[in-house]
Each structure stands twice: as structure tokens, then as C-alpha cells.
Amino acid sequence: MAALSTRQSFGEEVAKLGEKNHNIVVMDSDLGKSTMTGAFAKKFPDRYFEMGIAEHNMIGTAAGLAMGGKIPFATSFSCFLISRYETIRMSVCYSLTNVKLVGTHSGIGVGEDGYSQMGLEDIAMLRSLPNITILQPADDIETRKAVRWAAETDGAVYLRLTRQKVADVHGENYDFKIGKGDVLRKPANAKAAVIATGGVVYNSLKAAEELEKEGIAVTVVNIHTIKPLDAELVLSLAKETGRIIVIEDHSEFGGLGSAVSEVISDSGIATKLLRHGVKEYGYSGTPEDLYDRFGFSTPKIKDVIKTFLKK
């Protein structure tokens, strides 16, 4: 199957879901060409709302639409969407509205546009809210299942998607379980566990496969549900090897790595944890170059794992 960006997978899936589910509504803030809402907009113009460059307005309106029985998917780049936190806090979460926030262009994978367009702090912002589900799918099939789950389940959801294409990690028969970590490989003699999420999962898996050939065995787990986190799985990984690396195209401060760190610290299980995320501002470059410079390419992830295991 040709690789798709997860934003593309979202666009296709929501248009498909809209056929049977007449309550689904899609909203844009002038980034429809980027958030891939065009298919839905064309099929269901009466259920599509262009809100213009006013994200607080879009989010609050989504809350009102949800109160009126609709299932709104409110879209923009993650940085522009989630930074409108106050409206998410009060009108979405604290008002208990069934709003689905869809943030594309997450991480340094955005590339040439540079930092201002990159979502790097969005997970950190939302993790502090008690009643929001945060999902970051790793590939096409996982995205489709996540979008379907979001449409069919009551409650605020944030879907974090890529601009760049991502290779498939899962097969057609993938069993997506909300809130449960997805174990991709688990060698018996694993020296460490690599927990990855979203756009970096494929490279993390590739890195582990190549390291196996060099005699280095690591477990690889894909976390698609960042909140609520599968603490049970995280703790079992900690107990098994006492060494965990968390890889994410997001700030190291407050992302999945921090969530994992919290769970492990609470437990008292002695674990060496490396949060391998973004420590500084992103900048312009090709997505491939940036992935390499920020340590998310397959060779760089291998280096990170080897260095970590030496410590």
C-alpha cells in the first residue's frame, strides 16, 4: 500500500464515515487544503463549515454544535489549534462537549515552513486536562480506526496527525485497542524497551529490526493513546528491562516521555528513562533532513539506542 500522511488518512476516513453518520460535521480554519477536508466538504456541503482564520471561534462553535447533537471535527495545524487552549479548557472539556479536535502538521516533520507552523507543545498543553483523549496514530490503518473510534465514542478527543507521508507499520488485520499500547516486537532477550508514537514509529521499528541483526535486542511499543496512558504496560516494560527510551516528534517537556516518566516515578520501579524528543525550536529544512538532524531517522535512532544501552 502506498504510504499516506495521516492527515490524508483522516480526510478520507471522515468523508467515508459521513455517509452513514449524518451527525458528523467538519470545520476548517482556512487550511482545508492542508487538513484534507476537501473530500468531506464536497460530499456534504451542508455539514461542512469554513470558519476562517479564527480558531477560538471554530472551537467554541464546535462546542455549541456538539451541544446541538452534532459530532464536530474541528481542524487546523496542531500548533494553531491547541494553542487556543482556553476555549478548549472551558467550552470543550469543562462544558463536557463531544468535540473532536484534529491537529495536522505535528512535529518537525512539517519541514520547510519552519517552527511557527510546527506542533511541538500540543500534547504537553492538553495532558493537563482531565477529560480529553489524546490519540496519535502511527500509520494509515491506525488513523482510520482512531477516527472511527472518535466518531463513535462520546467525549472530547484530540487527534494528532502528520503532514508527511508515513509508511505502514500495521497490516490490514490490525486490532486497534483504545487505551492499550500496541506491542510491535518483543524479543525474549530485550535489553530495553523503545516506546514510540506517531510519525517516528516506523523508523523506530526499522531501527530495532536492524539492531537485531547486530545482536542488540529491544522491545518496540507503539503508543497511540497518549492519554489515558496504558500505565500497566509501561510498568511491565519498566520491570522487564529497567531501561526505556521514549521517542516522539514533540517537545521532551510534557509529551509522551513525560507521561511515561510520571507513571514510572510514581511506581518506584528503578528505571533508566531517556526522553528522546525535541529539545529546541524546529527550523526550516526538508522533513528527511530535519528527521535526521533531530535524531528521528532510522540510523540516528539506532545510535540513540546504542548509546543509551552503553550507559
Partner 1 sequence: MQQISKEMKASQSAAMSLHTEEVKRLKAIAKELRIWTIKMLAEAGSGHPGGSLSAIDIITTLYFHTLRHRPQEPNWPLRDRFILSKGHGVPALYAALAKSGYFPIEELMTLRKTGSRMQGHPVAGTVPGVEASTGSLGQGITIAQGLAMASKMDGNPYRVFSLIGDGETQEGQVWETAMSAPKFGLDNLTVFLDYNKGQIDGTTKEVMDLEPLADKWAAFNWDVQEIDGHDIEQILRAIDRTASTLGKPHMIIAHTVKGKGVSFMENNMGWHGKTPNKEEAEQAIRELERIVI
Judged by CB under 8 A, the chain residues 5 through 34 that form the site for partner 1 are 25
Min CB(16)–partner 1 separation in Å: 21
Q: Is 49 in the site for partner 1 (CB under 8 A)?
A: yes
Binding span for partner 1 by CB under 8 A among 52-60, 216-224, 242-250, 281-289: 52-60
DSSP 46: G
Minimum CB distance to partner 1 smaller for 64 or for 114: 64
Q: Which helix (H) or strand (E) holds 311?
A: none
In whole angstroms, give the CA distance from residue 122 to residue 300: 24
Min CB(98)–partner 1 separation in Å: 12
Binding span for partner 1 by CB under 8 A among 45-53, 159-167, 227-235, 282-290: 45-53
Binding span for partner 1 by CB under 8 A among 63-71, 142-150, 161-169, 230-238: 63-71
DSSP 296: -
Of positions 18, 32, 60, 181, contacts partner 1 by CB under 8 A? 60
**Catalytic residue from among 55, 121, 142, 252:** 55
Minimum CB distance to partner 1 smaller for 87 or for 251: 87
Min CB(51)–partner 1 separation in Å: 6
Of positions 36, 66, 118, 124, contacts partner 1 by CB under 8 A? 66
Judged by CB under 8 A, the chain residues 67 through 106 that form the site for partner 1 are 67-70, 72, 86-87, 89-91, 94-97
Minimum CB distance to partner 1 smaller for 131 or for 236: 131
Question: How close are the terminal C-alpha atoms of the chain, in Å?
Answer: 39
Q: Which residues pair with 244 in a beta bridge?
A: 193, 273
Residue with cell 517516528: 200
Apex CA 177: angle with CA 175 and CA 180, to 5°?
130
Min CB(122)–partner 1 separation in Å: 20
In whole angstroms, give the CA distance from residue 265 to residue 271: 9
Q: Is 52 in the site for partner 1 (CB under 8 A)?
A: yes
Q: Which residues pair with 247 in a beta bridge?
A: 196, 276
40-59 CB burial, b ≥16 within 10 A, e <16: bbeebeebbbebeeebbebb
In whole angstroms, give the CA distance from residue 251 to residue 282: 10
How far is CA 37 from each of CA 180, 274, 281, rounded to the nearest angstrom?
A: 28, 37, 29
Select from 51, 166, 160 the least CA-distant residue to 105.
160
Residue 139 grid cell? 500509520
Min CB(64)–partner 1 separation in Å: 2
Minimum CB distance to partner 1 smaller for 25 or for 245: 25
In whole angstroms, give the CA distance from residue 190 to residue 309: 11
Active site residue 142: no
The count of residues interacting with partner 1 (CB under 8 A) is: 30
Catalytic residues: 55
Report the interface residues with partner 1, using CB under 8 A: 25, 46-47, 49, 51-52, 54, 56-57, 60-70, 72, 86-87, 89-91, 94-97
